[in-house]
Amino acid sequence: MTAPIRENLSGLDLRAEIERLRKERNAVILAHYYQKPEIQDLADFVGDSLELSRKAAETDADVIAFCGVKFMAETAKILSPEKIVVLPDMDAGCSLEDSCPPEQFKRFREAHPDHIALTYINCSAAVKALSDVIVTSSSAETIISQIPESQKIIFGPDRHLGGYLNRKFGREMLLWPGVCIVHEAFSETELLKLKAQHPGAPVAAHPECPPHIVDHADYVGSTSGILQFAKNFPGDTLIVATEPHIIHQMELALPEKNFIGAPGADGNCNCNICPYMALNTMEKLYLALRDLQPRIEMDEELRLAARKSLDRMLDMASGTVGKGDLGRA
Ligand code: SF4
């Protein structure tokens, strides 16, 4: 369980205090699209996990306050070892990361020595270090298309993203059985009811959704891709099958359009809100900037090993690695 805040912060103007500390600490504040609007609104950058870490690495900030989940803050540390990286709540985890303990992943790899490991970025630094290439939901398709069909692949930890890629590319990647509890919660029945209420409204879905949701989507892509689709689709209503806090950015960009979050099982539950992301609050962000805790610490050997598989992704995504270059790292 997350530790309760023991101080009484009720008299503080948190926005002003965060602003003061941001300057005093020379800090950059990052907010993932799944954060509460009040946090998104004060962040220096709002985006998806890798994009945020890369932007922060390009700044001369001394401190990164990452309003997201732990694997994202770890990625920021991997790319910016000289910076202090704080996460407002260290219990902000991820069901995909939890599904894939490094020891089990290592044994699985050892049981399949002729497979390379293509691993979704939603995993711990230790699992990244055990992988050959990291992918994001934005880069996965570009990267898979560069891997020879004869090359056997383990894909983890998201079986839905892996299954989507298998279907799209006719691959038979071996899938680690993890799921995102948020995208898993969308209900096909409720989605079909919503579509009937809004005839003609397209559905944009994240590939972490199970096939019975993705099959109804007009667009399937990463959070950044979904946001781009929202900015360009010609209609006036869009059904969004990913964590609904991303709708805040859509409403800011296109206030005249109507964005509806896809429903969970009873049509009205909050089960499509990520409970890990929701642990970050303004109070905890203030305390993290004030105390420079909780802080991401990482062994340098682990960081360099994890960095290798991330760099492989960046090289492949930018087209600087040829098909023949991809072997076991
Ligand atoms: S939305 Fe899903 S994948 Fe993203 S952090 Fe939450 S549990 Fe993990």
Domain limits, the chain: 14-92+277-299, 96-180+303-320, 182-272
How far is C-alpha 60 from the chain's CA centre?
24
Average pLDDT of 134-161?
96
141 CA → ligand 1 middle, Å: 20
Q: 14-92+277-299 adopts what CATH topology?
A: Rossmann fold (3.40.50)
> Where does residue 62 fall: left (phi above 0), alpha (psi -120 to 50 degrees), or beta otherwise?
alpha
Output the pLDDT for position 319.
65
Say how far apart CA 271 and CA 207 lie, in whole Å: 18
Share of the chain above pLDDT 70, in %: 94
Q: Is 206 assigned a ligand-binding role in the annotation?
A: yes
Residue 276 has pLDDT above 60, yes or no: yes
Q: Is the pLDDT of residue 279 over 80?
A: yes
The residue nearest atom 8 of ligand 1, judged by CA position, is 94
Residue nearest to atom 5 of ligand 1 (CA): 94
SS3 call for 209: coil
- Consult the annotation and say whether 32 binds a ligand: yes
CATH number of 182-272: 3.40.50.10800
φ, ψ of residue 29 to 5 degrees: the values are: -105, 125
pLDDT tens profile 193-223: 999 999 999 999 999 999 999 999 999 999 9
pLDDT digits (tens, 9 = 90+) for 160-190: 999 999 999 999 999 999 999 999 999 999 9
What pLDDT sits at residue 272? 87
In order of 114, 226, 305, 324, 325, the CA distances from 328 in angstroms are 9, 33, 13, 12, 10
How confident is the model at residue 311, as a pLDDT?
96
Phi, psi of 283 (to 5 degrees): -60, -45
Determine the distance separating the centroid of ligand 1 and the alpha carbon of 207, expressed in angstroms: 12
Mean predicted confidence (pLDDT) in 35-48:
97
- 81 or 1, higher pLDDT: 81
Domain 96-180+303-320 has CATH 3.40.50.10800: yes
Atom 7 (ligand 1) nearest CA: 94
**Is residue 145 annotated as involved in ligand binding?**
no
- Residue 326: predicted pLDDT: 46
CA of 208 to the centre of ligand 1 (A): 9
Residues in contact with ligand 1 (CB, 6 Å cut-off): 34, 69, 94-96, 122, 180-182, 208, 243, 274, 276-277
pLDDT score, position 329:
36
- Residue from 161, 186, 276 to probe ligand 1 pocket by mutation (most atoms less than 8 Å from CB): 276
Burial code of 155-176, b = ≥16 C-beta within 10 A, e = fewer? bbbbbbbbbbbbeeeebebbbb
Of 69, 89, 176, 209, the residue with max ligand 1 atoms within 8 A of its CB, to mutate for a pocket test, comes to 69
pLDDT per position as a tens digit, 83-122? 999 999 999 999 999 999 999 999 999 999 999 999 999 9
Of 255, 254, 274, 256, nearest to 264 (Cα)? 274
Cα–Cα dist 277/257, whole Å:
26
- Residue 110 CB burial class (10 angstroms; 0-12, 13-18, ≥19): exposed
Q: Which ligand 1 atom is at minimum distance from the Cα of 95?
A: 7
Q: Is 276 annotated as a binding residue?
A: no
Nearest-CA residue for atom 3 of ligand 1: 180
- What value does the mean pLDDT take over residues 25-36? 98
Of the given ranges (1-5, 66-70, 193-197), which has the lowest mean pLDDT? Answer: 1-5
> Hey, which residues does 117 pair with through a beta bridge?
154
Q: What is the pTM of this model?
A: 0.94
The pLDDT of residue 2 is 62
- To the question of whether residue 207 is assigned a binding role by annotation, the answer is yes
CA of 87 from ligand 1 middle (Å) equals 16
pLDDT band of residue 271 (cuts 50, 70, 90) is confident
Which amino acid, residue 322?
G
Measured in Å, residue 175 CA sits from the centre of ligand 1 at 18
On whether the CB atoms of residues 196 and 208 are closer than 8 A, the answer is no
Q: Do domains 14-92+277-299 and 96-180+303-320 have the same CATH topology?
A: yes
